[in-house]
Amino acid sequence: MLAIGVEAMSMLSNPTFLFYQFMNSISLGMNLFIIATGLTLILGVLRVINFAHGAFFMFGAYVCWSTVTFLGGAVGSFWLGVVAAAVVLGAMAFVIERGLLRYLYGREHLTQLLFTFAIVLIVGDVAKMIWGTDQYNVPYPHGLGGAVDFGFAKYPSYPLLLCVIGLVVAVGMWLALSKTRWGRIIRAATQDREMLAALGMNVPLVYTGVFVIGSALAGIGGALAAPRVAVSPGMDATIIIECFIIVIIGGLGSLWGSFLGALALGFVTMFGTVIFPDWELVLAYILMLGLLLWRPWGLFGHEEEEPH
């Protein structure tokens, strides 16, 4: 087994291979970031650990498949599928937050945890009722099934595009959060919601809005992942763990924290599987543990103050 690692080490001196792995790491990181950023947003504002985020991701992939299939795979149908995933997940999140979740804000974390876990099971079963247990294939969007030639190597266009989309989402979220009035309100809600309410802000509306946007991002993440993986029950199995690792590394509620966390996880996964093939499963956890020992509040998080 050790020989495999040594063989891979010799590969690391191959520049083309390094380039591939570098790009693989970034595209995996960016796909994860789009999903995890929704989770961290919800966690930061609502203080709810939303276990259902992974199930929303899967649901988004299914919605995308249905849209593409309904439109007969026409040009642009994939992008409509991404929009549809955002809209459907946003609507679902609206109903869940307004109808159920809001009654649990004052409760202890365990109740909320159980609630979101129940949502995982319900969403999973609803998906099974609608789409059955079959696996589905979403083709690459038109013109993106090939590769871009960099001269010294080719890299597939679709994952390249994911890198760009991840960056756009990051910058867009940052602008929205730092430059707009609603962004400031959301940031204020992460700091001190009582004060925000005392200032006459409609805090419940902020909560609904954040839950809807966060869940829509999970849906978008699922739709964007769909062309690269089989859409099927169980595709949400590992994503929620990966998202939690990212959120913990980055610091709860931090946008750039989850951006860096996602990239770190991308690099650790891609290079870890090559250099330490036997340790593939635990590398991400080692990364998380090491960081927790060093900075328990994550890269960009803040030390929790005692509630006053």
Residues that bind other proteins (CB under 8 A): 4, 7-8, 11, 14, 16-17, 20-21, 24, 27-28, 66, 69-70, 72, 128-137, 139-140, 145-147, 154-159, 227-230, 232-235, 237-238, 269-271, 273-274, 277, 280-281
Name the residue nearer to other proteins (CB basis): 159 or 214: 159
Phi, psi of 286 (to 5 degrees): -65, -45
Nearer to other proteins, 162 or 206 (CB): 162
Between 46 and 61, CB nearer to other proteins: 61
**Nearest-approach distance from CB 159 to other proteins, in angstroms:** 8
CA nearest neighbour of 52 among 281, 244, 227: 244
Beta bridge partners of 148: 155
Integer angstrom CA distances of residue 271 from 61, 70, 266, 277, 287:
27, 39, 9, 9, 13
Minimum CB separation of residue 1 from other proteins in Å reads 9
* Chain CA centroid to CA 204, Å: 24
Comparing CB distances to other proteins, the nearer of 32 and 213 is: 32
Q: Which is nearer to other proteins, 104 or 275 (CB)?
A: 275
Query: In the numeric block, which tokens belong to residue 102?
Result: 């809001």
Nearer Cβ to other proteins (172/234): 234
**Closer Cβ to other proteins, 9 or 205, answer by number:** 9
The full DSSP string for 28-81 is: HHHHHHHHHHHHHHHHHHH----TTHHHHHHHHHHHHHHHHHHTTT-TTHHHHH
**Nearest Cα to Cα of residue 55 among 112, 115, 117:** 117
11 near 274, Cβ under 8 Å?
Answer: yes
DSSP reduced 3-state for 242: helix
CB of 225 to other proteins, least distance (A): 8
Q: Which helix (H) or strand (E) holds 211?
A: helix 203-225
CA distance 274 to 241: 21
* CA–CA separation, 135 and 231 (whole Å): 5
